[in-house]
Amino acid sequence: MAHADSPSLARLRPRAVTMRTFQRMAVATLVILWLVVTTGGLVRLTASGLGCPHWPTCDANALVPQDSYHALIEFSNRAISGIAMLAAVATAIVAYRVAGVDRRIAHALALAAAGTVAQVPLGAVTVAFDLNPYLVMSHFLLAMVVVSLSTWATVAAFRPALARSLVGGRIGVLAWGAVAVYLGLIVSGAFVTASGPHPGSTTTPIERIGNFYDAAWVHVRVATTFTVLLVALALWLWKRFRGSPAQRLSLVCLGLLGCQAVVGEYQYRNGLPWEVIAIHVALAATLLITVVVTASLVSVPLRADPGASRAAGR
């Protein structure tokens, strides 16, 4: 019998996952989760929500869609969501096994994985109830929460000090306050969509939530609040931490917000074309990731610009 430490048995043992591999897995999972959000938006906006009338298969007697672009869009989102679930669960498991990964990072990834898994029965219930607008909205908002958790954990995987820090002084409070308001903006935007002309399926009547103009009124006010907070954060970072990654990303956030404003105004004045709203949703998910990354980076010690005075609130 071969000795327990013989080279032949050593080759059979599974290789330990390195920190670098874990980081790559976290990034890949975040990208897939972004795809879940964007393709999920396409499902609703193209009225493909019941393109596959059965779950988890597309048709009663077929796994894949048959001769329908609605079915193809719906099934594509299901397939991407399934890949995202596997990736999120695998990344969470690996997080607990890699040496040096803070348990708070692993816990965040476990929550993200749980949220991704929960999307499966939630999607089935949503189809069973003919795309009830509240279920459709919860499906989208849960995806955004999962993206937020995965984003923070991914940044923390590269910046271990983040998992052990609080909000990073007054500038951290401002940054995470902007994240909270932006999540509120996403919620108000979901109500705008739910009150608009896109029911999610061609086979169900339009079931709206509330009044579109009232929802848009609230959405604009929340957007204004977020804009003020983001501009204040960008100015603070420019003055105190010029050249830092967080300061550069704050400018990217402003650029994405400007694009969102232009797209939002265009869609409002042109009858809410679904193609434009799809761009709006993709930008919303991208901006969410960027804002969370920015807030995460200001939660760890930043290097002040040599010519600037010492950061306030530190």
**Per-residue pLDDT tens digits for 53-100:** 776 667 767 666 666 777 788 888 888 989 999 999 999 999 999 988
Q: Residue 49 contacts by C-beta under 8 Å, 6 or more apart in sequence?
A: 43, 74, 126, 127, 131, 136, 199, 200, 201, 204
Model confidence band, residue 301 (pLDDT cutoffs 50, 70, 90): low
pLDDT above 50: residue 238: yes
Which one has a higher pLDDT value, 304 or 78?
78
Which one has a higher pLDDT value, 23 or 213?
23
Give the separation between CA 64 and CA 136, rounded to whole angstroms: 22
What number of other Cβ atoms are within 10 A of residue 287's Cβ? 23
Q: Which residues of 25-56 are buried (b: 16+ CB within 10 A; e: fewer)?
A: bbeebbebbbbbbbbbbbbbbbbbbbbbeebe
Local structure of residue 308 (DSSP, 8 states): S
Summarize the confidence of residues 9-27 as an average pLDDT: 75
- How many Cα atoms are found within 13 Å in the side-chain-facing hemisphere of 281? 26
pLDDT above 60: residue 313: no
Dihedral angle computed from the Cα positions of residues 114, 116, 118 and 122, in that order, rounded to the nearest 10 degrees: 170
pLDDT per residue as tens digits for the range 151-209:
999 999 998 777 776 666 888 899 999 999 999 999 998 888 777 665 544 455 556 67
Give the separation between CA 44 and CA 63, rounded to whole angstroms: 21
Measured in whole angstroms, the distance separating CA 130 from the mean position of its chain's CA atoms is 25
Give the separation between CA 194 and CA 210, rounded to whole angstroms: 8
Give the separation between CA 142 and CA 146, rounded to whole angstroms: 6
272 by DSSP, 3-state: which?
A: coil
- How many Cα atoms are found within 13 Å in the side-chain-facing hemisphere of 15? 5
Which one has a higher pLDDT value, 138 or 288?
288
Percent of the chain having pLDDT more than 70?
Answer: 80
Give the separation between CA 80 and CA 29, rounded to whole angstroms: 11
pLDDT of residue 7: 53
Q: Is the CB of residue 249 less than 8 Å from the CB of residue 230? A: no
